[in-house]
Amino acid sequence: MIRGKTIPFMAISILFMMLALFSGIFRLMGENGIGPMLLVPLYGLHPLLMVFGFIAGIIMTERIAGVELLPASRDSRLSVSMIPFVFAGVTIEALGYGIDSASLRYAGALLLVIGSALFLVLIRSFYRKGRENLSVAFMMVSGASLLISSVLSALELPAGNTGFIMLLLLFPITFILGERVELTSLASGRRPERLRPALVVSSVCVLLFGLGSTTYFLSGVQLADLTAFVLLAATFGVFLREELASSRRTPQNVMRLHRYVRLHVGAAYFWGLAGSVFGAVYVISPTFQSYDAFIHSLAIGFIGLMLLAHGPIILPVVIGRSFEQKRLSNVPLVLLTLGLLLRIVGNTSLLVFQSELLRLAVALSGWIILAAVTAFFAEIVRGIRGGEAARSFGDGSGTKVSSMPPISVGPPFQAATCASQCESPPYSPRHRLSLSGASRRLVNESVKSNRIAPLSKGCEGGARLGRFYTGCSSMAVFNSDL
């Protein structure tokens, strides 16, 4: 049962996020002279709580959902065990830093290393299940970044160490890019190997930032960090080009969800490029403003917006619920962008204008981010409630499929799904290769075992298989429009 395993992990991840978010808000207010300094012991732990507690928890929970939907998977126990190691590790390590205990720090870091290593093993296992190798390779680079960060976390907190901070951020960044590899290749109909150079560049970025994080006292670290930021910007640029090529193939009458994802993904790449530029500026001329700008452009702008983009797709699959997409809006996007702009522009303006109004705007920007998060989760809850109500009204079979309106499956994916059910697929054999043979067998086995309902007539139910495959890959393969 997916829900029984994933919901507790999701809840704990969100608790870590709220703890990290409130510590960041109170620190921002205190530094700008607005209110008392609250949760001071957590200030330095903010990045560890956010990355290990929240982001790693969410990503690993997503992997559990994917493994659970694989028939006769042998990796279910492995996938579940890695998350308690990470949660326990970050908790013990935070306690160790709080009471200044080296033993607790090392013990917590050891648990984080074990959890990260199990994550890498699980990701590696997807090679054997017919997943796109390039996508999995990005995720393995992501896992390597998390593993290195786990080791470094025993030695020092990341504040002020650009390499360490970027290793923490590269964990979700490269993982998200790996997910986008699948989607852009399906959407554009082009082979994902076109993005293989971006994989090499991302690996070099992890290597350079890793070297910089451990040799920050050497003169060569500045060149390494600068080169890594330039390469990161190039990576974002390559992916943005592929996303634009994908969007040109999208028909005009797409669903609300597709427009929602497209807008958020485009904004995320903008902030990714901006964060890379701010990072390069910080390396050349270090100031607090550029330091804060590059971190939060990547953390809130790129990672945050990608989470908003994929959340309505991933969360219902992870908790095994349906989702009503008409509940979606761009309010969280607007609030998050406003909060981030207030923080960056306000901090930069304070270099010239020492205004109390600017300080107040910067201090309140954190609360605007919190409002964006709250609005997003409210939309998710309403969408899940609406989806469950719609499914109960329209389908009494209890089949675990999404109750979203029928979608228009694009040629590559439609042909692949139809190839598993129809004797005469409507497209050429070239299109049928867009879904791997292992994935087609997975769909067939799942139909036979009643994990999903068989197609009712011909290929009219292709969208339902598409939504099932979303669960297997833990990502949004609704159709080629994404």
Last residue of a domain, one of 110, 131, 152: 131
User: Which of these, 82, 90, 124, 126, lies nearest to 109 by C-alpha position?
Assistant: 90
Tokens 């607007």 belong to: 334
Residue 215 lies in a domain: yes
- Position 292 scores a pLDDT of 94
Residues 13 and 116 in one domain: yes
DSSP-assigned letters across all residues of 410-474: -HHHHHHHHHTT-SS-SS-HHHHTTS-HHHHHHHHHHHHTTSSPPPSSTTTTHHHHHHHHHHHHT
Mean pLDDT over residues 420-427, rounded? Answer: 32
- Position 39 scores a pLDDT of 82
Taking CA 170 as the corner, what is the angle to CA 140 and CA 56, rounded to the nearest 5 degrees? 70
Task: Say if CB 14 and CB 54 are below 8 A apart.
Answer: yes
Please say if the pLDDT value at position 467 is more than 60. no
Domain containing residue 205 = 133-249
Residue 478 lies in a domain: no
Taking CA 294 as the corner, what is the angle to CA 217 and CA 372, rounded to the nearest 5 degrees? 140
User: Which of these, 283, 330, 339, lies nearest to 308 by C-alpha position?
Assistant: 330
Residues 317 and 374 in one domain: yes
- Position 216 scores a pLDDT of 56
Cα–Cα distance, 260 to 263 (Å, whole number): 5
Q: How confident is the model at residue 424 (pLDDT cuts 50, 70, 90)?
A: very low
48 or 449, greater pLDDT: 48
Q: State whether the Cα torsion 410-271-308-6 is positive or negative.
A: positive
Task: Say if CB 210 and CB 167 are below 8 A apart.
Answer: yes
Mean pLDDT over residues 20-32, rounded? Answer: 91
Residues 118 and 72 in one domain: yes
Residue 10 lies in a domain: yes
The DSSP 8-state label assigned to residue 330 in this structure reads S
Looking at the chain, the whole-number percentage of residues with pLDDT higher than 90 is 48
Residues 13 and 125 in one domain: yes
Predicted TM-score of the model (pTM): 0.81
Residues 67 and 92 in one domain: yes
Q: Of 149-163, 169-183, 389-403, give the lowest mean pLDDT range.
A: 389-403
Last residue of a domain, one of 88, 116, 131: 131
Please say if the pLDDT value at position 112 is more than 90. yes
Please state the domain count of the chain. Answer: 4
Count of other CB atoms within 10 angstroms of residue 34: 15
Residues 170 and 93 in one domain: no
Task: Say if CB 278 and CB 297 are below 8 A apart.
Answer: yes
The DSSP 8-state label assigned to residue 97 in this structure reads H
Residue 160 lies in a domain: yes
- Position 25 scores a pLDDT of 93
350: burial class by Cβ within 10 Å (0-12, 13-18, 19+)? middle
Residues 33 and 118 in one domain: yes
Please say if the pLDDT value at position 6 is more than 70. yes
For residue range 162-175, what is the model confidence (pLDDT) as tens digits? 999 999 999 999 99
Count of other CB atoms within 10 angstroms of residue 38: 14
Residues 360 and 292 in one domain: yes
CB-based burial, 408-424: b 16+ in 10 Å, e otherwise: bbbbbbbbbbbbbbeee
Residues 151 and 118 in one domain: no
Mean pLDDT over residues 129-151, rounded? Answer: 87
Q: How confident is the model at residue 428 (pLDDT cuts 50, 70, 90)?
A: very low
Residue 81 lies in a domain: yes
Tokens 């901006």 belong to: 274
Last residue of a domain, one of 405, 433, 458: 405
Residues 369 and 311 in one domain: yes
Residue 262 lies in a domain: no
Residues 332 and 398 in one domain: yes
Residue 260 lies in a domain: no
Q: Which two tokens stand for residue 187?
A: 């959407």
End-to-end CA distance of the chain: 29
Cα 471 versus chain centre, distance: 15
Task: Say if CB 35 and CB 76 are below 8 A apart.
Answer: no
The DSSP 8-state label assigned to residue 406 in this structure reads P
Residues 25 and 76 in one domain: yes
Please say if the pLDDT value at position 5 is more than 90. no
For residue range 210-264, what is the model confidence (pLDDT) as tens digits? 988 876 556 678 888 999 999 999 999 999 988 887 777 665 555 677 888 889 9
The DSSP 8-state label assigned to residue 405 in this structure reads P
Please say if the pLDDT value at position 100 is more than 80. yes
Please say if the pLDDT value at position 160 is more than 70. yes
Residue 482 lies in a domain: no
